[in-house]
Structure 1
């Protein structure tokens, strides 16, 4: 199968490199000039796993404006606030027969992708794997190979032959895919997960394991999960996990799978970039308000993250 990864940062590289290792043809498209130029200069991307065994993996990388490939499927991994611009820059090479697949954090991307791809060609999911982009052309896969899990679903909730082929390739690449027929419930499970772990670890500058080790972590997690589920249920979302299963997922990933990991929101904050909090906690707040429900803790956390962003920008200017 031929893939083109659009947005070749930490997660885009992880998916693309491992699918390439599994025997697929993969191209990479990215708009960040230092990243593209560094990979071209060194002949690929340097890949480590848990900060060890660093080695060069050859990749074909392009800017959006110059790409002319014709893959079977695009894999999108941009930040939510960058997606609209990247899609506009890539629109010249999209074809009606091509599929779009994404496991981006937060919500807001589905509507943007549907402007370019037919509903029956859109597959989206969630990935419980940790990856860090150390810098241009240098990525670190966190966790043992095959340790992560992921869920995915068709937008139409009707899996076709291509979907099953995609799942087979993801399985060969050891992403442990689980195909569901619950589109919104599948995506919202990761939004709720991130609304707890990403946001709290970012605010208190701690790893996932450090958060989960705090004696009051379960109480904090439950409060956020309950508010999130209350908002989702009012909007008609049938969640794939129970509230207890969502808490169990937070604890397993934080304590067992990736205890030493700083989530992506922390990495954005630490590197003076805008976070995706509006597409995670903020999205849950807006969902609830559509139905007269106030997810007050999520609203408070959204404001806290924005305040922290303002302070980081002041720090950057010093």
Structure 2
């Protein structure tokens, strides 16, 4: 399969490298100049797993305007707020038969991609995989090979042969994919997960395991999840799992699967980048308000994250090397 990964950041590199390892033709496209230049300079990207065994992986990367191929699949891993801007720079290689896969963190990425691609050609989903960008041209895959799983779903229409072809390649790469049939339920389930762990770990500057160790972590998770599910019930969204089951999943993943992991929002906060809180907790607030409901817990978290973002100007920025 001919694949273009748009966004050679943490998750983009993980997906692209894994697909490349099982024989796919992978090209990376990125707009982050220091990253592109570092990969060019080093003739590849430095990959570690759980911080160990650094090794160079040969990858091809260029800026969007420099790529003129005809990919079968475009994988989008850019921050939600940059989706339209980056897709505009990539639209020249989005052909009539090109599929686009997005496993972005928040809600709205697929809707923005639909400005450029037929909705029936968009595959959304979720990735329960932890990856950290250590700096330009350096990425750390968290967890043992084969850890985590991926859910993929057509944004519109029933699963077709192509989504199963993508799933087959994911299975070869030990990504453990599940092909789902309910777009809204799939995407919102992961978003609620992120609205708890990403946001609270970011605000408290802690790892997931440190969050799980707090005596009231489960009750905090339950309050946020129940508030979000009230909005989903009003919208008529059928979630993948029930409220209490998602509480259990959050505690298990935080305590057992990825206890040493700092979520992606935390990585953005510590490197002075904008966070995606408006597309995560903020999306829940907007959905609640659409139905005349309030979401005070999530609304407060949005404000607290933005306050923390604003306070960074009083701190010395963290330099990536």
What's the TM-score once normalised by structure 2's chain length?
0.97
Preserved CA contact (<8 Å) 1:157 1:182: no
**Aligned equivalent of 1:234:** 234
Counterparts in 2 of 1:96-107, with a 5 A limit?
A: 96-107=96-107
SS at match of 2:46: strand
Residues of 2 paired with 1:227 and 1:196: CA distance?
11
**Aligned equivalent of 1:165:** 165
What is the deviation of 1:71? 1.1
Preserved CA contact (<8 Å) 2:153 2:179: yes
**Aligned equivalent of 1:300:** 300
**Aligned equivalent of 2:70:** 70
What is the deviation of 1:224? 0.3
Structure 2: gaps spanning 5 or more residues: none
Deviation sequence 1:63-98 (CA, Å, 0-9, x none): 011111211000000001111110111111110110
Q: RMSD across aligned C-alpha pairs, in angstroms? A: 1.1
Residues of 2 paired with 1:111 and 1:154: CA distance?
12
SS at match of 2:152: strand
Preserved CA contact (<8 Å) 1:157 1:183: no
Residues of 1 paired with 2:240 and 2:108: CA distance?
19
What's the TM-score once normalised by structure 1's chain length?
0.98
**Aligned equivalent of 2:251:** 251
**Aligned equivalent of 1:14:** 14
Counterparts in 2 of 1:26-175, with a 5 A limit?
A: 26-175=26-175
Deviation sequence 1:101-150 (CA, Å, 0-9, x none): 01000011111111111121110000011101100000000011111111
Question: Cα distance 1:214–1:317, how it changes in 2: closer, same or farther (>3 A)?
Answer: closer
Residues of 1 paired with 2:27 and 2:16: CA distance?
8
Residues of 2 paired with 1:317 and 1:2: CA distance?
39
Residues of 1 paired with 2:131 and 2:299: CA distance?
28
What is the deviation of 1:316? 4.2
Residues of 1 paired with 2:313 and 2:146: CA distance?
37
Residues of 1 paired with 2:25 and 2:65: CA distance?
20
Residues of 2 paired with 1:58 and 1:149: CA distance?
25
Greater mean deviation of Cα atoms: 3-12 or 247-256: 247-256
Runs of 4+ in 1 over 2 A off after TM superposition: none
Counterparts in 2 of 1:178-193, with a 5 A limit?
A: 178-193=178-193
**Aligned equivalent of 1:267:** 267
Preserved CA contact (<8 Å) 2:272 2:317: no
SS at match of 2:3: strand
What is the deviation of 1:313? 2.5
Residues of 2 paired with 1:149 and 1:93: CA distance?
29
SS at match of 1:192: helix
User: 2:294 matched to 1:277?
Assistant: no
SS at match of 1:178: strand
Preserved CA contact (<8 Å) 2:209 2:260: yes
Preserved CA contact (<8 Å) 2:208 2:259: yes
SS at match of 1:5: strand
Deviation sequence 1:10-37 (CA, Å, 0-9, x none): 0000000011011111000000111001
